[in-house]
A and B are shown apart, each in its own frame.
Chain A
Amino acid sequence: MEVRVQNIRKEFGRFPALNDVSLDIRSGELIALLGPSGSGKTTLLRLIAGLESPTEGTVYFGNEDASRKSVQQRNIGFVFQHYALFRHMTVLDNVSFGLTIRPSGRRPSKADIRQRALELLDLVQLSGLEKRYPAQLSGGQRQRVALARAMAVEPNVLLLDEPFGALDAQVRKELRRWLREIHDRTGHTTVFVTHDQDEALELADRVVVMSKGQIEQIGTPDEIYDTPNSPFVFGFIGQSNILPVRVENGQLWIADRSIGVSAQGEPDGPAQLYFRPHDIELLDGNGGCIAGLVTVTRRVAGTRHVELDIGGANSRVEIELPPEKVTSDHSRVAFRPTRWKLFRD
């Protein structure tokens, strides 16, 4: 089901947690809400769920105004950060819970509920563990029970709050791939909250980057990474260099030297140049480039990270080079960004 969030504002006391947030989620989409802590991403998720009510604004499920509905009526699936499994119930009872508490008119028969729960446990690869209690499961297994439980009610939308936050790195990676598979198989509209950019970029169809209660950018992982539209997104996602530059007649200048990058159509004046360490080309000339002395080099997996001192005020720059390109300390390296963006204060 498609979900629309329209002009939502949420205040806790006088503290604004969300400020005029609008978001369209297409049916069947897997969306990541990505941002640092305090950016309002969890609040947005809880507002969609109906666990919080907005100070202003509306949430639509399809064409229906869901803001008037309680959390119970919205029929959503929510996976909590710490899973919130019912510890006095078996795995099977946990998964069945949403169905067994329905009023008798809408409640499937006992056999059907059991059948459905077992199918879901099969889907999340926990067959055979249905009689266990949550205390007898590992973290990753609990996580999967929580997901099966949320899916049992055939939710309009599946909401996950930091779904992998409490797991160790290895399990995280496995479950990430696995969640994608489940999503592709079941086709639930899914929104998940994360502060981990790798998780968001790897898993989601679209990523919503949030900061300070506002949406900074919405886009596919490629769009978000390749064309960040704000200094925040640039800084928050991936590595980036920031250099103070000056625009003069469509050329970029650092101090009194042109760096050989043309910015046609940009008005003259000071600006900040953003570029990623790997979006560069090495040069050997003296003019029309950024040049600096190597201060530190580090080998990180398949690339070599080189830190340059380019002189001047904001003088540290990091670039990534192929590992076979060996540079000694204090040697001179010249380069030019190939993909970059200018932001003005």
Chain B
Amino acid sequence: MAHDGATTAGTGNTELVRVATSEHRMARYTLIGLALCFVGLFLVLPLAAVFTEAFRNGPGEFLTVLSDPETFAAIELTLLVAVIAVPLNLVFGIAAAWAIAKFEFKGKAFLTTLIDLPFSVSPVISGLVFILLFGSHSLLGPWLQHHGVQILFAVPGIVLATIFVTFPFVARELIPLMQEQGTSDEEAALSLGASGWQTFWYVTLPNIKWGLLYGVLLCNARAMGEFGAVSVVSGHIRGLTNTMPLQVEILYNEYNFVAAFAVATLLALLALVTLVLKSLLEMKYSEQIAASRRH
């Protein structure tokens, strides 16, 4: 045990005293027990439930269910949304972090707060704002309808809602990291005659690559898994506007539990892969990921 200093050694003639900064053995075991029970009950069991329920009727049915064309369409749509939303937020995140971390300007704190805003908004409200913006009752709605542009209940709406909820992930990861790194590396490169882009490409980017990857990882997990916002704007058109999480809901509400859990398995695997990669990044490159990490 880490703080278990109370070991009598050799011909010690003294009864040794417990180290002042550790708890009694019983207290320690009780706390560990409590923590493990809590984690078991709230984290491990739900994960186990997903996999068990998916394979309830054996792997054969699991595969059959997954090869359903609607499920396949949901997977495709989820990937498509992530492929659009994540790179856009990546570019934005780098730009925002560059402006905020490398420069001093008025209103910086306010800008940082605005970037965090989507974190404190309910996903349902994130969807709602796009309904209010593009819906038939809105200002833009009739104009869009007249020009045959379909945003709501179609892929563009889903992408927009996803971008909204995943907006802060990359920026939030990069800002503290780049602030910590300061500007001396960039100044050195510029003094050696590098252009702005060269400086970014050869100096800044290598410095932030692991933090960037970390942010992209979290951004992607959320983009693929977002439910509330997407659910509001999607219209639930089977085979067309259902992402994987929405497909899980539909199947579940139809009491098609095995199918629901089969799709859920894929999402759970995505979560596990994300966690493993995230832990690896934290273990290997802890200094090159932001120092103060809060999600």
Chain A interface residues (CB < 8 Å from chain B)? 11, 50-58, 65, 67-72
Contacts and interface: CB of A to CB of B under 8 A. Distances in A.
A54 B14 contact: yes
B5 A53 contact: yes
B10 A56 contact: yes
B11 A51 contact: no
A72 B18 CA distance: 11
B6 interface: yes
28 contacts: A50-B17, A51-B19, A51-B20, A52-B19, A53-B5, A53-B6, A53-B14, A54-B12, A55-B9, A55-B10, A55-B12, A56-B9, A56-B10, A56-B12, A56-B13, A57-B14, A58-B13, A58-B14, A67-B14, A67-B16, A67-B17, A68-B14, A68-B17, A69-B17, A70-B18, A70-B20, A71-B20, A72-B20
A69 B20 CA distance: 11
Nearest to A11: B9
B9 to A, nearest CB: 5
Contacts of B12: 54-56
B104 interface: no
Contacts of B16: 53, 67
B15 interface: yes
Contacts of A67: 14-17
Interface of B: 5-6, 9-20
A57 B16 CA distance: 11
Nearest to B6: A53
Contacts, number: 43
B20 A56 contact: no
Contacts of B19: 51-53
Contacts of A65: 14
Q: Which among A53, A56, A67 has the greatest number of chain B C-beta atoms within 10 A? A: A53
Q: Which 5 A-B pairs have the closest CB atoms?
A: A67-B14, A53-B16, A70-B17, A71-B20, A55-B9
A165 to B, nearest CB: 21
A96 to B, nearest CB: 20
B19 to A, nearest CB: 8
Contacts of A53: 5-6, 14, 16-17, 19
B60 to A, nearest CB: 57
Among B6, B11, B14, B19, which residue has the most Cβ atoms of chain A within 10 A?
A: B14
A52 B12 CA distance: 14
B2 to A, nearest CB: 14
A317 B227 CA distance: 82
B11 A56 contact: yes
Contacts of A54: 12, 14
Contacts of B13: 56-58
A169 to B, nearest CB: 30
Contacts of B17: 50, 53, 67-71
B10 to A, nearest CB: 6
Nearest to A50: B17
Nearest to A70: B17
A64 B10 CA distance: 23
Nearest to B15: A68
B261 to A, nearest CB: 48
A11 B16 CA distance: 14
Contacts of A68: 14-15, 17
A340 B13 CA distance: 43
A54 B8 CA distance: 9
B291 to A, nearest CB: 21
Contacts of A71: 17, 20
A50 B10 CA distance: 19
A60 B12 CA distance: 15
Contacts of A72: 20
Contacts of A69: 17
B62 to A, nearest CB: 52
Contacts of B9: 11, 55-56
A11 B20 CA distance: 18
Contacts of B5: 52-53
A69 B15 CA distance: 9
Given A53-B5, A53-B19, 6 more contacts: A11-B9, A56-B11, A57-B14, A67-B14, A67-B17, A68-B14
Nearest to A72: B20
A52 B11 CA distance: 17
